[in-house]
Amino acid sequence: MARLVVLLGVALAVAGSLSLLTAKSESRRVYADFEAHVTDEVLIVEGVGSLAPEIEQLVTTPREVGQTQIEELIEEGTPVKKGQVLVRLSTFLMENAGRKAQVQLRNKEAELHRMARESALSSAEETAKVENQQAELTCNQDILAYQEGGPDPRIVQTLGLKISKARLDEEYLQRKLLAQQALNKRGYLSDLEYDSIRTDQVKARLDRSQQENSLVLQKQGPRAEERKRSRTLVRKDSLNLSLSKKVARSQSLIRNLANAKKQAEISDRQVVVDEAAWKRSKAILKAPMDGVVVYSAPKVMEPLQVGSVTFGGRELLKVVRNGIMRARVQVNERFIDRVKVGQSASVLLYGHARPYPAKVELISRLATQRDPKDSQSPRDFCVLLALDRVYPVLRPNMSCRARIEVARLAQVARVPADAVFERKKTSVQLAVLTDGAVVRRTVSLIDEDFDFVFVRGVKTRERLLILDK
């Protein structure tokens, strides 16, 4: 449009005379006229951006670290080797969380040891209780078996022998008493010795009577009430034993569950401790390769420096390796359809007169808003241009402007788009001043941009008119 304004200014001097000429063939008013020039044309698409190194690796704040501060930062432009420390982030919060988790871990482990001691004691008590009840049950079962089995022949035989012995003792004492009685009458023994033998005889008689009574009772066997009581005791002990075993099993399961829960809590705290240590290791950012340090913090954020607040995922810096530079430029979406991979281009640095040859290497697939805060702002595609060789004077992030050759047209005339009357796919109609008359001529359409059309079918110095449509 700037070229069009110049052409319009030049044509003002002759606009009055041309208006008389148009009356012969056209009744429309002439705004401007110009001379056609047939020559070779180069179509250019421009973009602005900055230089980028051939190889670069971004260093960002690990997302695991979260929000923290920069404690140590390498100076921009410093050459570094792979593995060299670039940034140290504050680990105060992580260390604090790790200490808390460590204390909680120790408390959980102490609780687990205490639970183990209490569990062992409770288990021993329950085992002893079960064993005692088992012993009681066994004893009562033996008693019941004895009672259900009737008299014990060994006891009956033993009592019979005791009764026989008691009778013999009683007969012996009777004979001795008679002999002593005779001697006593004759005056050989005292009354005291005679009474002693008589007492022994009474004892022997009582002992025999007792053994006879025991034998009678033994032969009769236990009473029904005793057997019933023994059976009741056996059932009771059996139920108590079964209940104690179930209680012991349930208490064992409860202790196992409590132990498993405590183990899980310990594992959870251990994970927190390990995670805190892992995060602390992530707070030391090292160079991913040999190269030079370049800060990459966005301009809208505070300058990158020691003490700056950072957060997970924030770009901090880049490690770049010098080589063939790339120009990363933004091209308006209106022109991106003319840009193709492999097209020739030239890169110009601000303040430098020399252009640097380049070629289109990559075109982004998506456009981005030029102003993220304004939804109506133009949208640009990112185009990556590779320079033809290494230039020592070029540095990463230097601002540049790129001129991309999207087409070369041989022997064409460049005509303002406003001069076109009718447009078809391969032709346009122009107003040509011939022998003082304005005639319409259809010419071939070779190419076009937003301001001009490039045609064949007109000659150099022919007068073309821009008429009121």
Q: For position 204, what pLDDT does the model report?
A: 82
Across residues 142-146, what is the average pLDDT? 79
Q: For position 307, what pLDDT does the model report?
A: 85
Topology (CATH) of 112-257: Helix Hairpins (1.10.287)
Confidence of residue 24 (pLDDT cuts 50, 70, 90): very low
Residue 235 CA to residue 316 CA, distance in Å, equals 81
Confidence of residue 12 (pLDDT cuts 50, 70, 90): very low
Which residue blocks in 283-395 are alpha helix, DSSP H? Answer: none
Across residues 254-271, what is the average pLDDT? 91
User: By three-state DSSP, how is residue 377 classified?
Assistant: coil
Better pLDDT: 464 or 226: 464
Across residues 402-418, what is the average pLDDT? 92
With contact defined as beta carbons under 8 Å apart, do 383 and 362 qualify?
yes
Q: For position 222, what pLDDT does the model report?
A: 66
Across residues 175-192, what is the average pLDDT? 69
User: By three-state DSSP, how is residue 197 classified?
Assistant: helix
Is 363's pLDDT higher than 90?
A: yes
Better pLDDT: 273 or 22: 273
Across residues 77-100, what is the average pLDDT? 87
Q: For position 191, what pLDDT does the model report?
A: 61
Structure tokens belonging to residue 247: 């209680």
Q: Would you say how long the chain is, in residues?
A: 469
* Sign of the alpha-carbon torsion through 124, 130, 131, 132: positive
Structure tokens belonging to residue 156: 């009956």
Across residues 129-153, what is the average pLDDT? 81
Residue 302 CA to residue 371 CA, distance in Å, equals 19
Residues of the chain with CATH 2.40.30.170: 37-54+322-464
Superfamily of the domain at 37-54+322-464: Efflux pump adaptor protein, beta barrel domain (2.40.30.170)
Residues of the chain with CATH 2.40.50.100: 56-89+283-316
Q: For position 402, what pLDDT does the model report?
A: 95
Q: What is the DSSP string of 66-117?
A: -SEEEEEEPPTT-EE-TT-EEEEE--HHHHHHHHHHHHHHHHHHHHHHHHHH
Q: For position 298, what pLDDT does the model report?
A: 57
Residue 416 CA to residue 8 CA, distance in Å, equals 11
- Give strand pairing partners of 456: 444
Confidence of residue 357 (pLDDT cuts 50, 70, 90): very high
Residue 13 CA to residue 264 CA, distance in Å, equals 95
With contact defined as beta carbons under 8 Å apart, do 20 and 460 qualify?
no
* Strands lying side by side in the sheet with 79-80: 55-60, 315-321, 291-295, 79-80
Better pLDDT: 296 or 100: 100
Across residues 185-213, what is the average pLDDT? 75
| Mean pLDDT over the full length of the chain | 83
Top mean pLDDT of 108-117, 272-281, 315-324 is at 108-117
Residue 113 CA to residue 401 CA, distance in Å, equals 72
Residues of the chain with CATH 1.10.287: 112-257
User: Where does 56-89+283-316 sit in CATH, by number?
Assistant: 2.40.50.100
Q: What is the pLDDT of residues 308-328, one digit of tens each?
A: 888 888 888 888 887 788 999
With contact defined as beta carbons under 8 Å apart, do 333 and 367 qualify?
yes
Across residues 396-401, what is the average pLDDT? 88
DSSP state, residue 389: S
Across residues 328-336, what is the average pLDDT? 92
Q: For position 206, what pLDDT does the model report?
A: 86
Structure tokens belonging to residue 149: 């089995």
Number of other residues whose CB lies within 10 A of the CB of residue 40: 9
Residue 252 CA to residue 248 CA, distance in Å, equals 6
- Give strand pairing partners of 414: 454
- Give strand pairing partners of 168: none
DSSP state, residue 2: H
